[in-house]
Chain A
Amino acid sequence: MGLAKRIIPCLDVTAGRVVKGVQFVELRDAGDPVEIAKRYDDQGADELTFLDITASSDERDIILHIIEEVAAQVFIPLTVGGGVRVVEDVRRLLNAGADKVSINTSAVVNPQLVRDASDRYGNQCIVVAIDAKRVAGPEPKWEVFTHGGRKATGLDAMAWAKQMQAYGAGEILLTSMDRDGAKIGFDLELTRAISDAVEVPVIASGGVGNLQHLVDGVKIGGADAVLAASIFHFGEYTVRQAKEYMAQHGIEMRL
């Protein structure tokens, strides 16, 4: 009994469709976002995350309509990220029905945005997304990347996570770029390092290929929540199967 670990299906959305890439490229169509959101809600998803991966800003408003439609039918927490640049973007997403807003590139470009958004709307709704890539060397070390993984920042992921917590991030969405789409499991060392470094919840992301990977993310990585896309989108597993598997392995789940 107590707080359950969370499973969060992630929907990458562009031009009104859910897609899934491998290491941030090679997009494959996975379906209609509203239908997929309803399906995962029926299967017992604990939250849903939408990442707007639209490249051009003139298509940006499509996600607002999708969120409005989902929020009218699905009554679990919704996180939305992608293209959030100013506090006004946060406000518009919250008004459309998002419960949390995820900030990635803009947090690096303008860390004050995290502070301002958190001061205005509370840290419970500000998620900072960190895309991290392992740096070769004797010590375990990861570098933060932005712009959908295309741009190196020189920032150390652990120090950055701590700084973002200090700026008002209420949660960290941690993606291993090395593992994203590779289906070989989370980078557990990275997950553990960040989870131990901050006191806010950490969502592990990037690399899930089977249900044991989810268990490992929580038990070995110390994640408070696990995020996955491909294993759910393409019908390999249902969210419910994943939750039952985790519960069978001694993890507190909402079943």
Chain B
Amino acid sequence: MDFLDALAIMVSSALVFAAPLIFTAIGGVFSERSGIINIGLEGLMVMGAFVGIVFNLTFSDMFGSMTPWISMLAAMVLSAIFALVHAVASITFRADQVVSGVAINFLALGVGLFLTREFYDRGQTDIISNPFYTWDVPFLSDIPVLGRMFFENYPSTYLAIAVALLGWFVLFKTSFGLRLRAVGEHPMAADTNGIKVYRMRYIAVMISGAMGGLGGAAYALTVAQAFSQATIVGQGFMSLAAVIFGKWHPLGALGAAIFFGFAQAISINGASWPLFANIPQVFLLILPYALTILALAGFIGRAEAPKSLGTPYIKGSR
């Protein structure tokens, strides 16, 4: 395998692994920018993966080749609703947001596996017959080398990148985004200016649910193609790492997610690639997490969290 071939395969599989992280991390950015810590991203992805697979298995005859898209949509909607649990607990009931997030992770896996046993009588689902297939972007995929790297990927990957750009636009170029960020920085000031703090936070958490659902479904419908206990193991936490490593910025999170996607792709397929064959796998596995700690510690530029992250807003308190 010559170098360019290897590079093309590497970049393209990195993007495959990055796509679910991108979706989820963008969701995480929205939630955290509004002041709600979301440790539950992992659980939201589990829910997305579960719904995506079950929907795909159930309706693949009815929708044919559209099935994966509609599965994504179903995962998005149901995960957004599922995220309401986190929203109600941490916004209205003032639960500790981290603890509530931990509970979300338990709950999603419990519900997913319980229902999997109910529906299929065993611990994992069948393999889906209608996954996403790679799609060559017309014209662009004909570009030598670059085409193979970037434009022969899953449709969900292109969507993820589009969503990240859209997330940046919404958060930084619309008044909705400004309000959302205001609520996360100084909820009382926002409240005095007539912004409905609770409503903004509910919306933000539900967006993170929708995005986490898309992320989980994207992983399930491309890489995993079935649902079991081992489908989502840590991708949610890695997305959370991407949120922080990306300094709570959608484009930063996009970059971080792609970078972590690389690390994942290399740790899984690296042994067969030149250059990487000699690096012990453990370093590549640990890299995303170690880098996040370093970023937090300020060795890679200071990562500054939204000011009111983690504190419930109580109307009337000073």
Q: Do A and B form a real pair?
A: no
